[in-house]
């Protein structure tokens, strides 16, 4: 795999805050990335700079090997509809889609129309009269139908109900399978998007805390489930990041891989190993990564 985006020592300072602090990462071709972090962590700023909508204070960004600013050859291969996207005055959903079609070389009109029906978007209604969920749907439809080689989704689920959110995740995976491309999905609802992600970038207060394959990340912890006494016995001396109890059954998530010896012990104690919550893992790893930092709230509630 080759990388489509290279970011080196990227810093973005606003008057009082540092939105991105000397960040470096790369994004590989044809993969789904999760750009995860709390509100205000710098997710939208990063995506804005990658798409030349915003400017870096210092550092370097390369997309398809070139600088994206004022570069139509690069920009036309990217799509970034922001969460708080503004639309032309009096434009309807239909207008917005017609406009989008003009600029994305791989735009699929049939897909756009299918999505309009599935999301039940009232395309004749003015965008400023749409509900938050319908507004999100406009962004999602443009993002999916653009088939841009690098597509950014900025908290695309805001205001969407559970059914519509699932619809988005399903259609994203379906279309991604048929037309592989690079997708960057920014989110603070980690567990909900976790099944989609091949790789996660966790950003907190302008810094990259984690940049890892989702599977490798999951392998860094395991949930041990069984009778409370046996679980407590097993996890003694290990780092437990999350515990849940239901009656006499306990599920404890422990950090660190399991050795063959561990597995043997688990079988003997009649304990099961279950998949871990990526959210818990990310929160705890993020905390550990900044041991010296002052206490702050959870990454997500």
The contact set with another protein (CB under 8 A) reads: 48, 51-55, 70-72, 75-82, 85-92, 95-96, 98-100, 102-104, 142, 148
Residue number, 85 or 227, with CB nearest to another protein: 85
Residue number, 112 or 142, with CB nearest to another protein: 142
What minimum distance in Å lies between the beta carbon of 171 and another protein? 20
Residue number, 87 or 157, with CB nearest to another protein: 87
Closest by CA to 225, choosing from 156, 185, 155, 273, is 273
- What are the φ/ψ torsions at residue 289 (nearest 5 degrees)? -65, -20
Residue number, 51 or 280, with CB nearest to another protein: 51
What minimum distance in Å lies between the beta carbon of 54 and another protein? 6
Are 182 and 4 in contact by the 8 Å Cβ rule? The answer is yes
Q: Residue 129 half-sphere exposure, CB side, CA atoms within 13 Å?
A: 10
Residue number, 101 or 179, with CB nearest to another protein: 101
Are 251 and 274 in contact by the 8 Å Cβ rule? The answer is yes
What minimum distance in Å lies between the beta carbon of 119 and another protein? 18
What minimum distance in Å lies between the beta carbon of 88 and another protein? 5
CA dist 173 and 153 (Å) reads 13
Are 139 and 85 in contact by the 8 Å Cβ rule? The answer is yes
**55-79 burial, b if ≥16 CB within 10 A, otherwise e?**
ebeebebbbbeeebeeeeebbebbb
What minimum distance in Å lies between the beta carbon of 71 and another protein? 7
């Amino acid at each position: 795999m080759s990388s489509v985006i290279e970011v080196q020592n990227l810093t973005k300072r606003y008057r009082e805050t540092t939105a991105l602090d000397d960040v470096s990462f790369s994004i590989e071709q044809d993969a789904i990335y999760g750009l995860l972090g709390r509100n205000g962590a710098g997710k939208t700023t990063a995506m804005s700079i990658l798409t030349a909508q915003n400017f870096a204070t210092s550092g370097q960004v390369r997309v398809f090997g070139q600088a994206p600013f004022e570069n139509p050859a690069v920009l036309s291969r990217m799509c970034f509809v922001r969460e708080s996207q503004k639309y032309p005055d009096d434009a309807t959903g239909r207008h917005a889609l017609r406009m989008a079609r003009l600029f994305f070389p791989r735009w699929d009109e049939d897909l756009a129309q299918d999505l309009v029906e599935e999301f039940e978007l009232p395309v004749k209604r003015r965008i400023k009269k749409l509900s938050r969920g319908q507004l999100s749907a406009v962004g999602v439809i443009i993002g999916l139908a653009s088939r841009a080689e690098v597509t950014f989704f900025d908290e695309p689920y805001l205001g969407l109900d559970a059914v519509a959110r699932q619809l988005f995740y399903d259609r994203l995976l379906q279309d991604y399978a048929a037309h592989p491309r690079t997708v960057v999905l920014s989110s603070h609802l980690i567990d909900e998007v976790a099944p989609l992600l091949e790789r996660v970038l966790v950003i907190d207060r302008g810094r990259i805390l984690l940049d890892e394959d989702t599977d490798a990340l999951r392998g860094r912890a395991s949930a041990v489930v069984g009778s409370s006494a046996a679980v407590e016995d097993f996890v003694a001396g290990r780092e437990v990041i999350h515990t849940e109890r239901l009656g006499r059954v306990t599920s404890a998530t422990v950090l660190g891989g399991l050795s063959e010896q561990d597995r043997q012990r688990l079988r003997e104690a009649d304990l099961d190993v279950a998949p871990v919550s990526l959210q818990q893992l990310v929160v705890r790893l993020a905390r550990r990564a900044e041991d010296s930092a002052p206490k702050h709230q959870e990454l997500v509630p």
